[in-house]
């Protein structure tokens, strides 16, 4: 059994023991495996602002790494919550970029984790007007600055 299938099994067992009736779909793409949970009343697994989903993802990855130390990080989503959150996040970043373009003044974004920073940097990597910059430091949360090219 490979790591992705093991992650699917771990999540399925955890959720069944907690009394949830779910369907779990698995996707594998270049950025790593993803597990998508389908269920009625997804709020109970998502939590407020996705905290429970983050915790569940952390537990699945922790258990997976006990069995497969080199396993890629598995992403969890419940009823497309993360996908929708990413869309809202990037829309807000695009609005700030439009502000930078219209005023010419740089905008410093709120501190972000590495995944969010990667999303922002990828959003502007080919943009002819805006570039993103973040400082080189060891901190977990860093602030990106949006600038004119």
Whether 131 and 139 have beta carbons less than 8 Å apart is answered as no
DSSP single-letter state for residue 79: T
| 15 pLDDT tier (thresholds 50, 70, 90) | very high
pLDDT digit string, tens, across residues 43-85: 999 998 889 999 999 999 999 999 999 988 999 999 999 889 9
pLDDT, residue 29, reads 75
| 100 pLDDT tier (thresholds 50, 70, 90) | very high
15-to-21, 39, 115 alpha-carbon distances in Å: 8, 11, 26
Q: Which of 18, 13, 21, 26 is nearest to 60 (CA)?
A: 13
DSSP for 88-102 reads: HHHHHHHHHHHHHHH
């Amino acid at each position: 059994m490979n790591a992705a299938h093991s992650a699917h099994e771990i999540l399925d067992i955890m959720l069944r023991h907690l009394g949830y009736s779910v369907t779990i779909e698995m996707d594998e793409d270049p950025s790593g495996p993803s597990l998508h949970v389908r269920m009625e009343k997804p709020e109970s697994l998502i939590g407020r602002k996705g905290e429970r989903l983050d915790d569940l993802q952390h537990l699945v990855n922790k258990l997976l790494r006990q069995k497969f130390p080199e396993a890629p990080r598995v992403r969890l989503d419940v009823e497309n919550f993360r996908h929708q959150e990413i869309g809202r996040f990037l829309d807000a970043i695009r609005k700030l970029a439009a502000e930078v373009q219209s005023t010419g003044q740089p905008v410093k974004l709120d501190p972000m984790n590495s995944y969010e920073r990667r999303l922002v940097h990828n959003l502007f990597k080919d943009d002819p007007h805006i570039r993103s910059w973040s400082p080189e430091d060891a901190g977990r949360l860093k602030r990106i600055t949006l600038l004119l090219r």
